[in-house]
Structure 1
Amino acid sequence: MSLMPVAAFPPAAAPGPTSEADSPSVSVLGQILAYQRDAWERSILFCDVLRQRANNMLEHERLGLPPLLKFTFETMLDARRFDQPANYALLRITEIDDACADDCIDRDKPPVVILDPRAGHGPGIGGFKRESEIGMALKEGHPVYFVTFFPEPCEGQTLADVLHALRRFVEAVSGRHPGKPPVLYGNCQAGWAVTLLSADCEGTVGPAVLNGSPLSYWSGESGINPMRLMGGLLGGAWLAEFTADIGDRRFDGAWLAMNFENLNPGNALWDKYTALYADVDTEAARFLDFERWWNGFYSLSHDEIAAIVENLFIGNQIERGVFQICGGCTADLRRIRNPLVIFASYGDNITPPHQALGWIPAVYASTAELKAAGQRIVYLTNPHVGHLGIFVSAGVAKLEHRAILESLDEITALEPGLYEMKIDNPAGEADCHRPQFGVRFEPRLVEELHFPKSANAFEKVREISEINLGLYRTVLAPWIQASANPWSATMLKWLHPMRTSRYLLSEEFAPWMRFFATLAPEISANRHPAPADNPFLKREQRLIGDVSDAFKIYRSRRDLAAEDMFAGIYGPA
């Protein structure tokens, strides 16, 4: 019997000292503690940001809700002093980045007049950061003017008063720049105001740029654009007048802001807050900057909101050519001769391309008719950016808006017809100039613009609205108008949930919020974020995503139910 050499069986390694940090239980415990500390710190910072938002809102109110522009300006005209007063003013941008704007402009370029939407919020969306419509126009060398408005309408103010004020503004700008008709830039609601102004100021204005502007409100896609159905589901225009009446003949813009938030409850109640919580170290400044504008609610007069809802949202009268601006004056889009540039996005669920472009085949039956009218209409679309992104996205400002401004001469020189503007950006960079990106204007046919529109159903909405509005004005309105007063209107204003959900988190109303104000600076100076690969942080992100998906499912089912209800009452939309 032979024995194997001892060397064939190496001795077992002697057990060495075991580090506690290497044991699985201690490793998991460390990850738990790291996540808990990170989550606790983020919670403190998150609550402090909400406290700051509340304080910003109250401060903005105390200052009288001034326009939130990042640029220095001077007031050229104040329409509150006109014979037909309106709560609008014309501003001239005088400074950019501590440099005088006059030193930066090209005298050969036409002035740009930017109008922000008066749809519940205050002015500033066109210039509340440097990379904006105002910023791009200044960087391209254009003299820039901005049309602002004030929180409260003038007594008895009408849409005709507003349009007359805007016309005087255009005349004043034209007078300062002879031979260079101003370029009009209209965002959302201001876009259709610019359209009416173009029809009213034939020959005195240059190209008009309409950004996310609803001119064909009945258009839309089933299951995707439910906002156009709300007028029918609420019984017509009477509710807008009722809301203005309980506000003592003032319509509180917070109601419009609430409608926008209800359109996407997942974002309003969950996504924007979880985005802040997840990245509170980097997102706080952006969140506070936007929320300062979003939470500044402006009012419209009773007559204004009644005309807007009855004629635009319910009656769809702009594209039909029956919109009465004032006695004997009807808006006719066929009178527009200045080139129109329409910017829309398929990611915009408030003003989809259907509503931005659907009026064209309604006004011009064919391409030949459009050419015979001598009109040039250019449109461009973005595949994904949302409604507000059309106005505030820095990437959109640096590419699409810059491309529009750099192409104004080409647009003006186009032969009459319909064109789609294509931007070729091979490098994929947003902040660049031509020829780093190219622009093409591809001819299109009016006959190719086919957008779903059920005129019969919306005609029934208009008829029901007229009946309900007549009943309201006869039966309820006299009693409500007699009982409403400034005290009750102010009480309703400050009890509105769009305000209470914000300002009640200020330490002025909740003294315990001072706790977060005390801790937040210390935590910011000594942060301990959990590593990106922390498993508990990843579980948090999955939970956030799951809740966000649940909101999307709810929203989809709610919108489908609204479609079914509308179809059951009025017919397919």
Structure 2
Amino acid sequence: MTEPLSLARTKPARTKAGPAGAKPVPAAKPGAQPPYVIDAMERWLLFLDTLRERADNMIAHERQGMPPLLDFDYELLLDARSFERPANYALLRITRAGEDCWDDCVDETKPPVIIIDPRAGHGPGIGGFKHDSEVGMALHEGHPVYFVIFFPEPMPGQTLADVHYALRDFVTEVARRHPNATPVLYGNCQAGWAATLLAADCQGLVGPIVLNGSPLSYWSGAAQTSPMRMMGALTGGSWAAHLVADLDDGRFDGAWLAQNFENLQPEKAIWEKYANLFNHVDTERARFLEFERWWNGYYTLSREEILAITQNLFIGNRLERGEMALDAHCSIDLRRISNPIVIFASEGDNITPPQQALGWIARLYPDTGALKAAGQRIVYLTHETVGHLGIFVSGSVARLQHRAILAHLEAVESLAPGLYEMQIDQPKHDQRGAPDVRFVSREVENLGIANDDVALSHVARISQNNETAYTLFASPWIKAATSPASAEALRALHPMRWSRTMFSERVNPWMGLVKATAEALRQSRAPLPEDHPALMSERALLAHMGEGLAAWRKGRDAWLAHVFGALFGAEPLGETSTPASKNAGADLKERTK
């Protein structure tokens, strides 16, 4: 099992030839500009060299044990691999941000913030990927910051319950260190529903919970805004994940999840990302390599975990319905949560659309009166365009939305029970100034979340039947035919890996020539100006091709929605938004005019 070389240390050093080594782009010399064809050939060589650097960084990162990619120094406090119920999780304390140490940044009277990163195929780090991040904003507001990471490989037979109790022990330790302030749980995507489980189990935890792009209502939303849900239904349910885990010797390779994410919007993942790099290779190389170093680090789940996730959440929807059993002694009921909850979702997120982030509210509380009677305070805010990953890694989102959330947690706790929309005004003259925040009362009845309950209940039954048949008749034979060697070969041959590693000079000797040529080229390159007519035509052509791919993807999703409706008895629903999120979008447009 691979693991970081050391966690009681500073942030991991960048690999050789990484973004830190990028040289400034020389200015174009007047009268010495090359023809467009020469410039395009130079950019193509630099583009290939960037792919080489990505591949070499990926291999080096794997050999290092894929440590967390945090832009902050930290120390290891607890390692759950040594717990009575072991899990591949650990608790870190952030000790330094740049030149500032803990004592320079932290106000000990403020509540500690525990940031939990999602374990959904990639490694930890997006919550503190750069200075303008969730970690950075929490330190900026003076909060003591703790970060939950996980290791590349799960413990043998690890279950969701094992992870849950490890997280509970982490929160208990942080609470012990700060007895005068209740910890704030900050959960991203999968980690959001994991944080919710901590507040909803039979013991419950106090303190505000911030859910960023976190799905809790898996059957909510229109069909065309939830293509991942339809794809899972059309493959027959959880048996496919079971098969992949069996072929990987009891583990589920996170590369499959990353591939699913890219397939959701291929125009962005396999076209726009690379087209933008090629067009702006002189300036985008460092940013591209920094993000790709995290994106291409694939972590694994145990067979028990992936089956529990698919059967209880994505297909079974048991969390929202209060039917999810944590263990033999406790089931999860979201009505137990008394903690103030802040929900951050985006209309541009097709992995966790606002309907899946907010739909559970109306399921649990049929009207606003019921929510108030329960003494619960729920605050939501929506972004109009940012994608799923942008919720966590966008610097502008961190400086505005996440900073506003952390700066107004005390105000959230002081609200009367009810449902509120958090509206944020960005200062016009100082983009780093404190944003102006308002809490607008909303009605649960007006959320207007669409649901495919009948259709997805059919999917759940079919999935259960397929899973039973696979477990009885196929799984034993697959397990008998699988070995650690065959599992490693399957991983190496995964498209998400070989499509990257094929550009490494360790694998492809010709890339050594590309490297040498690119290094010499950077010394003398004089790029064309950004407003050069040929470059502008190139960008228009690339954008047009991306639009064509997006149109194909929309047609694919519409076809999937039609097939889904025909098979499972659901009317294909059109694009919808919650009235609340529409209000937020309209307000945002008005405020940014």
TM range (shorter): over 0.9
Determine which of 461, 477, 485 is the counterpart of 1:479.
477
1:278 maps to: 279
Determine which of 507, 510, 522 is the counterpart of 1:509.
507
1:63 maps to: 64
How many percent of aligned residue pairs carry the same amino acid? 57
2:36 maps to: 35
1:140 maps to: 141
Is 1:88–1:150's contact at 8 Å kept on the other side of the alignment?
yes
Amino acid in structure 2 at the alignment position of 1:354: Q
Runs of 4+ in 1 over 4 A off after TM superposition: 30-33
Amino acid in structure 2 at the alignment position of 1:489: A
Amino acid in structure 2 at the alignment position of 1:50: L
Larger radius of gyration: 1
Q: Residues 371-416 of structure 1, C-alpha deviation per residue, up to 9 Å, x if partnerless?
A: 1111110000011111111000000000100001110110011111
Amino acid in structure 2 at the alignment position of 1:493: R
- 1:545: Cα distance to partner? 1.4
| Cα distance in 1 for residues equivalent to 2:395 and 2:525 | 29
Amino acid in structure 2 at the alignment position of 1:307: A
Alignment of 1:124-163 (within 5 A): 124-163=125-164
Q: Secondary structure at the match of 1:223?
A: helix
Q: Secondary structure at the match of 2:93?
A: strand
| Cα distance in 1 for residues equivalent to 2:330 and 2:231 | 29
| Cα distance in 1 for residues equivalent to 2:329 and 2:75 | 36
- 1:49: Cα distance to partner? 0.5
Amino acid in structure 1 at the alignment position of 2:411: E
2:471 maps to 1:452? no
- 1:225: Cα distance to partner? 2.4
Amino acid in structure 2 at the alignment position of 1:483: A
| Cα distance in 2 for residues equivalent to 1:495 and 1:431 | 46
Q: Residues 430-457 of structure 1, C-alpha deviation per residue, up to 9 Å, x if partnerless?
A: 4221xxx311111111111111111000
Is 1:252–1:300's contact at 8 Å kept on the other side of the alignment?
yes
Is 1:231–1:461's contact at 8 Å kept on the other side of the alignment?
no
TM-score normalised by length of structure 2: 0.89
- 1:61: Cα distance to partner? 0.4
Alignment of 1:177-256 (within 5 A): 177-200=178-201, 204-256=205-257
2:467 maps to: 469
Is 2:33–2:528's contact at 8 Å kept on the other side of the alignment?
no
1:79 maps to: 80
1:18 maps to: none
Amino acid in structure 1 at the alignment position of 2:525: R
Alignment of 1:281-430 (within 5 A): 281-427=282-428, 429-430=430-431
- 1:223: Cα distance to partner? 2.4
Is 2:225–2:353's contact at 8 Å kept on the other side of the alignment?
no
- 1:221: Cα distance to partner? 2.1
- 1:31: Cα distance to partner? 11
1:11 maps to: none
Q: Residues 1-37 of structure 1, C-alpha deviation per residue, up to 9 Å, x if partnerless?
A: xxxxxxxxxxxxxxxxxxxxxxxxxxxxx99952112
2:527 maps to: 529
Specify whether residues 36 and 504 from structure 1 end up closer, same or farther in structure 2 by C-alpha distance, changes over 3 A only: same
Q: Residues 55-99 of structure 1, C-alpha deviation per residue, up to 9 Å, x if partnerless?
A: 000000000111001111111000000010000000000111032
CA RMSD for the aligned pairs? Answer: 1.4
| Cα distance in 2 for residues equivalent to 1:339 and 1:523 | 56
Q: Residues 340-398 of structure 1, C-alpha deviation per residue, up to 9 Å, x if partnerless?
A: 00000011111010000000001111211111111110000011111111000000000
- 1:532: Cα distance to partner? 3.5
1:122 maps to: 123
Specify whether residues 498 and 95 from structure 1 end up closer, same or farther in structure 2 by C-alpha distance, changes over 3 A only: same
Q: Secondary structure at the match of 2:460?
A: helix
Specify whether residues 533 and 442 from structure 1 end up closer, same or farther in structure 2 by C-alpha distance, changes over 3 A only: closer
| Cα distance in 2 for residues equivalent to 1:534 and 1:418 | 52
Amino acid in structure 2 at the alignment position of 1:222: A
TM-score normalised by length of structure 1: 0.92
- 1:429: Cα distance to partner? 4.9
Q: Secondary structure at the match of 2:319?
A: helix
Amino acid in structure 2 at the alignment position of 1:275: N
Q: Residues 211-232 of structure 1, C-alpha deviation per residue, up to 9 Å, x if partnerless?
A: 0001011112232321111221
Gaps of 5+ in 1: 1-29
Specify whether residues 304 and 383 from structure 1 end up closer, same or farther in structure 2 by C-alpha distance, changes over 3 A only: same
Amino acid in structure 2 at the alignment position of 1:262: N
1:489 maps to: 487
| Cα distance in 1 for residues equivalent to 2:477 and 2:205 | 46
| Cα distance in 2 for residues equivalent to 1:33 and 1:522 | 16
- 1:310: Cα distance to partner? 0.6
- 1:156: Cα distance to partner? 0.6
Is 1:236–1:468's contact at 8 Å kept on the other side of the alignment?
yes
Q: Secondary structure at the match of 1:152?
A: coil
Q: Residues 196-215 of structure 1, C-alpha deviation per residue, up to 9 Å, x if partnerless?
A: 01113756431000000010
| Cα distance in 2 for residues equivalent to 1:509 and 1:410 | 56
| Cα distance in 2 for residues equivalent to 1:509 and 1:312 | 40
Is 1:113–1:182's contact at 8 Å kept on the other side of the alignment?
yes
